[in-house]
Structure formats: C-alpha cells, structure tokens
Amino acid sequence: MTVVKADIAVVGGGLGGVAAALAALRRGRRVVLSEEYPWLGGQLTSQAVPPDEHVWVEQFGITATYRALREGIRQYYRDAYPLTDEARRDPRLNPGRGRVSRLCHEPRVALAVITKMLAPHLSSGRLTVLQPHVPVAAETVDGTVRSVTLRHTGTGETTVVEAAFVLDATETGDLLPLTGTAYVTGAEGRAETGEPSAPEHGDPGNVQSIAWCFVFDHVEGDHTIERPADYDRWRALAPDFWGDAMLSFTAPSPRTLEPETRTFNVNPPYATVSGDEAHGEDPGDLDLWVFRRIAARETFTPGSLDSDIVLANWPQLDYLGGSIIDTPDRDAHLRAAKAQSRSFVYWLQTEAPRPDGGTGWPGLRLRGDVTGTGDGFAQAPYIRESRRIRAMRTVVEQDVAVAVRGHGGPAVFEDSVGVGMYRIDLHPSTGGDNYIDVECAPFEIPLGALVPVATVNLLPAAKNIGTTHITNGAYRLHPVEWNIGESAGELAAFCLDRSLTPAEVCSKPELVRRFQAVLTGAGVEIHWPEIIGY
C-alpha cells in the first residue's frame, strides 16, 4: 500500500474531473487525479462521444477553459491533419461535419489537448495522475473525509490518498456511498419534487439507459465480425413502445414518442447535407451516418480518408436491462450493454436493409485504433445518470422548464456558479419509461447544488450534483459537466485559502459574492447575457 498526500483529491478523470483539477492547480494547490480508464476525458474520450452543446456555444455560455479545450481541438487538426484549404480557414472547423454538434471530432484528439492542458502541472510535480485506478474505500470521521483508497485495476495494488478536500468526479458518484454522503438514485416521485414530468411513484432503480458506443468506417472487403452467441436474444428484443425490434433503424422520436425509421446512407456526398445542418443547426438523428460522424472525407485533402469515420451513439444502443448503480449485477449489465451493441454491429453488417434493396454492409469496419481499444468499442460505456448528492439546493423541473415557468428567459439563481443550456432530455429508462423531452430555459448552476447537506469536505464534480432524475437530463452534458467540475475545484481552493467549509460559503451571501468574483475572474460565466431570442 502506498500513501499519497495532497491538498485536493479528484477521483474520476472525466470532463468534470479534469476541469476540477485544472482549477485547483491554477490556484497553486497540490492535486491527485485518478481515473479508471486509459484515457482522461470521460464522455469526450473514453466514452468516445463528441460534445452535446447549446446553439450559442461559439459566442457565449461556456467557461474560458472549456472554450480553450474546444479551440485546442480545432488547432490540433490544423497543425497535424491534411485539411483542405477551406477547412483550414474555417474559424468554426467541424472535422466530422456531423449534425449533433458544431465540433464533431475523434476522441483521441480531445485526449491530446487534455494531455497538453495538464502537462505543465505534471512537470511541476503539483499534479499526480493515477491510472487505471478505482475507489474502493474511504475513511470518514464526523462528516469529514480523511482519505480515499484507490485500487489499480490491473495489479490490485492500493493507494491511500489523504487530502483536505475530496471531489467526486466519477461517472456514477462512486464516492458517495463509500464516504457516507447522503445521496439519491433513480427517479423521485411526484409527491417528493412536485415535478410535472416525474412519475407518480419514485423508483431508485429507474435510471436513464447507458449505451456502449463504437466507431466504424466503410471500406472494401468483408469485415463482418463473428456472429455473437447471443445474437438471437438481441434480435428478438422489441420493447412495446419502440415500434419495431431494437435491431432495426426504427426508434421513438424523443419529441413525439412516435416510432420513426432512420436512414443510413454510407459515405454520402457532403452536398446532400446543408451547411447549417452540418454545423449543428439541425441536431436530428434521422440519418444515423451523418448524425455523429466524427471525420468527414470532405474536411481533408483528397485521398486522405478512404471513408468517413462515424461514432455510433444511437437509440438502438440504449440498454434497458437494468441499472448499474447500487446493484450486485453491475458487471453483468455492463457486459449486456456491450453485447447489445455488438449484436447491432453484426446486424448492420449482415441484415440491415440497404437503400438498393440488398441487406447488410460487410464493408463496415470497426475502428479500434480510433477508440484506443482492440475491438472498436469505446473504452467505457456512455453513462447518462449518476448518484446525486442530497444538496443544500436541488434543481427541480419547475426551476428550468419553459412550460412550467411560462417563458424561455434564463433560469436565474442568486448563488450561480456557472451556466448551461440543453433540453431536459431523458432517454428510455431501466424502469420502462419512453423518452422524456421537455423544453428547458438557459439555466444557471446554483452553488447550493454543489454542497452536500452533511459531508463537510466532499464536493460533486460531475453529474452527481443536486438535481433530480428529471433535471439531470439537462445538466448532464459535456460543457455543463466541465463547468461543474471547474467550479468545484475553485470552491475547494477558495475554502482552503480561507479556512472555510463549502456550507459556510453557501450560507453567507457576502462569501457567495466573493466566490462568484473569483469565478468570473477565471472566465466562468455565471449569468446569461441579456439578448433577444431566449
């Protein structure tokens, strides 16, 4: 066993964890950052999903460091890739020209930029990164976390990290049960939250589906994978509300809940998709190839790519079989989620209906070199919902939903520590719910949502803040998670510098204002600008 001491321990190296570490490091603090998977960056890298962002992302509504990450990704392509002259000149370069985002890109490019952002702190010795490590135990005394024990996933060796502050940036809030921090899981009942979209009765096991994503292209030859042993099981899966088998191009529309049949056009000419769509004005997934394409042939000089490169993060991959939180069946559910995705790959290669009347695309090739794996699947599952702290302030649907509030103006919190914008977007759940899709106003992140009701020195730094099952659907995406992590890292450093607790800061308006001044000085936007069009 090894013992490591730091000012701040950040457990979980996803986007929130990286942002938290960077924030604490710029305040001169010593940080230990741990991560389970080979790549730092979470949903942007190990989970392989390009950013889901709001429509104003190029102008405002993100932190300065998140903007640096985005621009760093673009600059990496300009420096290292054979771009066309048009693409190289484009200040809003979108390498994949996908419809889901203004910045569809390969996961390892984001990893390279994150590595660059952390590099000077590694050289200074103020940052220690422990990979691949997972938390397995913690010592908590009178509500104060004294240490966290991490286990190397390969060797089994343990490291005890002692720190004045502990930040939980894991994908599912794994430190909360280990530290005795009060938390909730799954769906709260309507009687508890008063939310119009909440179910009548709560269910801790009812969480948003996870998905095991994969990356592929299409080239000459037969790249069909071995027929999965459980293929028939997944081929027969057809939830009542789906409209067809899940191994199909059909899935419910998130807005109408009516079944829609998507298209799948392999390597389509870029001219078939308008420029606005390709830059994110239409985030619809009606064509699965274009929806999350992460490298488009037309972005690069002729002959550079034999095919577009596409990320599969589609409704048909959503795993409904059970929650991976607080269950002894976690590993079985993870294996099943990946098996479902593997069967979808095989279906695409052998049975999927083609526009020309044939079936299957044997030329579809999994790209493990893009995901950093041996099989073309992401290193980690894409996780949409976490354990959530019992917080001093819990954001509910009534705070942010346009229909409830009666207008689309920004949802304002006096103790705001950041901003975000996304629809309340809940994917089909393990409790059998269909999509829940609610129009959401531009919102702020209240400081109270980052402060546990009892634990003194633990802060959430990812999707584990004080939201509900419903509002988590808006607060869970890439730029918001980064903002949460950055503000949590700043809060830990602020408290250490002044011998305060987060609860003390949260409860005193003057301290809240001082902390907000620190955040704005660091480039964190805490309020939305006054514009016409919300």
pLDDT in tens, 10-67: 999 999 999 999 999 999 999 999 999 999 999 999 999 999 999 999 999 999 999 9
Domain co-membership, 250 together with 339: yes
Tokens of 429: 């759940």
Q: How far apart are CA 390 and CA 523, in angstroms?
A: 28
Would you give the DSSP letter of residue 328? T
Question: How would you classify the pairing of strands 259-261 and 364-366?
Answer: unpaired
- The secondary element (H helix, E strand) that includes residue 191 is helix 190-193
> 3-state DSSP call for residue 272?
helix
**Does 533 fall in a domain?**
no
Q: Are 379 and 38 in contact (CB under 8 A)?
A: yes
pLDDT at 245 over 70: yes
Residues 170 and 242 in one domain: no
Residues 6+ apart with CB under 8 A from 109: 73, 76, 77, 95
> Could you say which of 371, 395, 422 is where a domain stops?
371
In this structure, the answer to whether residues 257 and 138 fall within a common structural domain is no
pLDDT, position 531 = 78
Separation of first and last alpha carbons in the chain = 54
Residue type for position 533: G
pLDDT at 533: 72
Question: What is residue 269's three-state secondary structure?
Answer: coil
Residue 163 domain-assigned (yes or no)? yes
The verdict on residue 8 lying in a domain is: yes
Residue 39: inside a domain: yes
Per-residue pLDDT tens for 158-212?
999 999 999 999 999 999 999 999 999 999 999 999 999 999 999 999 999 999 9
Domain boundary at 321, 344, 371, which? 371
* Amino acid 506: pLDDT: 97
Residue 279 has a pLDDT of 37
How many structural domains are present in the chain?
A: 2
Domain shared by 416 and 469, yes or no: yes
pTM of the model: 0.96
Q: What average pLDDT does the segment 470-488 reach?
A: 98
- pLDDT of residue 528 exceeding 50: yes
Q: For residue 171, what are its two tokens? A: 């994908």
Q: What φ, ψ does residue 446 adopt, rounded to 5°?
A: -75, 140
CB 454 within 8 A of CB 477: no
Q: What pLDDT shows up at residue 275? A: 41
Report yes or no: 365 and 219 within 8 Å, Cβ to Cβ: yes
Give a yes or no: residue 57 inside a domain.
Answer: no
pLDDT, tens only, 412-436: 999 999 999 999 999 999 999 999 9
Residues 366 and 489 in one domain: no
Considering only CA atoms, give the Rg of the chain: 22
Q: Report d(CA 399, CA 379) in Å as an integer.
A: 36
> What pLDDT band is residue 271 in, cutting at 50, 70 and 90?
low
Q: Are residues 183 and 126 in the same domain?
A: yes
Tokens found for residue 499: 């011998």
Taking the CA atoms of 66, 125, 35 and 145 in sequence, report the sign of the dihedral they define.
negative
223 close to 350: Cβ distance less than 8 angstroms: no
Average pLDDT score over residue span 386-390: 98
Whole domain around residue 481: which residue ranges? 2-50+105-187+384-521
Residue 100, pLDDT above cutoff 80: yes
Mind listing the pLDDT tens digit for each residue in 223-237? 999 999 999 999 999
Regarding whether 126 and 6 lie in a shared domain, the answer is yes
For 6-24, write each residue's pLDDT tens digit: 999 999 999 999 999 999 9
Q: Are 172 and 315 members of one domain? A: no
Note whether 113 and 136 are same-domain residues.
yes
Q: Where are the alpha helices (DSSP H) in 292-367?
A: 330-350
Within a domain: 279: no
Bridge partner residues of 205 (DSSP):
none
Q: Tell whether the model's pLDDT for residue 276 goes beyond 50.
A: no
- Domain-embedded: residue 159: yes
* pLDDT tens digits, 339-362: 999 999 999 999 999 999 999 999
Q: How far apart are CA 390 and CA 179, in angstroms?
A: 13
- State the CATH number of the domain containing residue 10: 3.50.50.60
Residue 440, CA distances (Å) to 244, 252, 403 in order: 30, 20, 8
Residue 282 has pLDDT above 60, yes or no: no
Which 8-state DSSP code applies to residue 51? P
User: What's the pLDDT band for 278 if we cut at 50, 70, 90?
Assistant: very low
Same domain? 181 vs 319 = no
Is the model's pLDDT at 147 over the cut of 90? yes
For the chain, what is the mean pLDDT?
Answer: 96
Do 296 and 96 touch, CB atoms closer than 8 A?
A: yes
- Report whether the peptide linkage leading into residue 132 is cis, meaning its omega lies within 30 degrees of zero: yes
Predicted pLDDT of residue 94: 97
Confidence category of residue 530, pLDDT binned at 50, 70, 90: confident
Shared domain for 366 and 420, answered yes or no, is no
Q: How far is CA 63 from CA 106, 518, 534, in A?
A: 22, 13, 20
Q: What per-residue confidence (pLDDT) applies to 216? A: 98
Please check whether residue 427 lies inside any domain of the structure: yes
Listed residues 340, 371, 402: the one ending a domain: 371
Clarify whether residues 138 and 14 are in a common domain. yes
